Structure 1
Amino acid sequence: MKVIICGAGQVGYGIAERLAAEQNDVSIIDTSPDLIRTVRDSLDVRGVVGHGAHPDTLAAAGAQQADMLIAVTLFDEVNMVACQVAHALFNVPTKIARIRSQAYLQSHYMDLFSREHLPIDVIISPELEVGEMVLRRIALPGATDVVSFADGHVAMVAIECQEECPVINTPLSQLTELFPDLPSTVVGVSRGGHLFVPRSSDQLMAGDMAYVVTTKEQVRRTLGLFGHDEKEATRIVIAGGGNIGLYVARAIEQKQTRTKVKLIEHNRARAITIADQLRRTVVLNGSALEQKLLLEADIDHADLMVALTNDDQVNILSSVIAKQLGCKSNLVLINNPTYHDFARTLGIDAHVNPRAVTISRVLQHVRRGRIRAVHNIDRGAAEVIEAEALETSPLVGPPLNEQDLPDGMRIGGVWREGQFIRPSGILRIKPKDRVVIFALASAVRQVEQLFRVSLEFF
Structure 2
Amino acid sequence: MKVIICGAGQVGFNIARHLANENNDVTVIDRSPELISKIRNSLDVHAIVGYASHPDLLEQAGARDADMIIAVTLFDEVNMVACQVAHSLFDVPTKIARVRAQNYLQPTWRELFSREHLPIDVIISPEIEVARAAIRRLKVPGAFDMIPFVGDRVQVVGVRLDEDCPVLDTPLRQLTELFPDLNILVAGILRADKVIVPGGDDQLLAGDNIYFVAEKNHVRRALNVFGHEEEEARRIIIVGGGNVGLFIAEQLLAENPKIQIKIIELDQERATFVAERLPKAVVLHGDALDLEIQREANVAGTETIIAVTNDDKVNILASTLAKQQGCSWAITLINNQEFGPLTASVGIDAYVEPRQTTVSGILQHMRKGRIRSLHSLAGGRAEVIEAVALDTSPLVGKPLRDIRLPAGIVVGAIVQDDQVVVPRGGTVIRPGDTVVMFTRADMIRKVEELFSVKLEYF
Q: Which residue does 2:50 correspond to in 1?
A: 50
The sequence identity of aligned pairs, in percent, is 53
Q: Displacement, 1:134?
A: 0.7
Q: Deviations over 1:233-290 (max 9, x none)?
A: 2221111111110011111111225321110112221111111111211111222122
Distance change >3 Å, CA 257–CA 181, structure 1 → 2: farther
SS in 1 for 2:272: helix
Q: Distance in 1 between matches of 2:226 and 2:5?
A: 41
Q: Which residue does 2:394 correspond to in 1?
A: 394
Contact 2:393 / 2:455 at 8 angstroms: preserved in 1? no
Q: Which residue does 2:451 correspond to in 1?
A: 451
Q: C-alpha root-mean-square deviation of aligned residues, in Å? A: 1.7
Q: Distance in 2 between matches of 1:119 and 1:392?
A: 34
Q: Which residue does 2:424 correspond to in 1?
A: 424
Q: Which residue does 1:238 correspond to in 2?
A: 238
Q: Displacement, 1:328?
A: 2.3
Q: Displacement, 1:71?
A: 0.7
Q: Which residue does 2:362 correspond to in 1?
A: 362
SS in 1 for 2:332: strand
Is structure 2 residue 91 aligned with structure 1 residue 91?
Answer: yes
SS in 2 for 1:5: strand
Contact 2:275 / 2:283 at 8 angstroms: preserved in 1? yes
Using the size of structure 2 for normalisation, the TM-score is 0.96
Q: Distance in 2 between matches of 1:236 and 1:454?
A: 51
SS in 1 for 2:220: helix
Q: Distance in 1 between matches of 2:119 and 2:454?
A: 27
Q: Which residue does 1:262 correspond to in 2?
A: 262
Q: Displacement, 1:314?
A: 1.1
Q: Displacement, 1:4?
A: 0.8
Contact 2:184 / 2:213 at 8 angstroms: preserved in 1? yes
Q: Deviations over 1:130-169 (max 9, x none)?
A: 1111111111120011000001111000111111111112
Aligned residue type for 2:126: P
Q: How many positions carry a matched residue from both structures? A: 456
SS in 1 for 2:186: strand
Q: Displacement, 1:3?
A: 1.1
Q: Deviations over 1:204-224 (max 9, x none)?
A: 111111210001111111111
SS in 1 for 2:253: helix
Q: Which residue does 2:173 correspond to in 1?
A: 173
Alignment of 1:394-413 (within 5 A): 394-413=394-413
Q: Which runs of 5+ in 2 are unaligned?
A: none
Distance change >3 Å, CA 391–CA 115, structure 1 → 2: farther
- Give the stretch that moved more between structures: 21-30 or 333-342: 21-30
Aligned residue type for 1:85: V
Aligned residue type for 1:10: Q
Q: Distance in 2 between matches of 1:95 and 1:424?
A: 40
Aligned residue type for 2:369: G
Q: Which runs of 5+ in 1 are unaligned?
A: none
Q: Distance in 1 between matches of 2:112 and 2:399?
A: 46
Q: Which residue does 1:350 correspond to in 2?
A: 350
Aligned residue type for 1:300: A
SS in 2 for 1:337: coil
Q: Which residue does 1:382 correspond to in 2?
A: 382
Contact 2:235 / 2:304 at 8 angstroms: preserved in 1? yes
Runs of 4+ in 1 over 4 A off after TM superposition: none
Q: Displacement, 1:108?
A: 4.5
Q: Displacement, 1:232?
A: 1.3
- Give the stretch that moved more between structures: 446-455 or 62-71: 446-455
Q: Which residue does 1:123 correspond to in 2?
A: 123
Aligned residue type for 1:188: G
Aligned residue type for 1:292: E
Q: Displacement, 1:455?
A: 10
Q: Deviations over 1:365-394 (max 9, x none)?
A: 111111111111111211111111122222
Q: Which residue does 2:305 correspond to in 1?
A: 305
Q: Distance in 2 between matches of 1:20 and 1:116?
A: 33
Using the size of structure 1 for normalisation, the TM-score is 0.96
Aligned residue type for 2:210: A
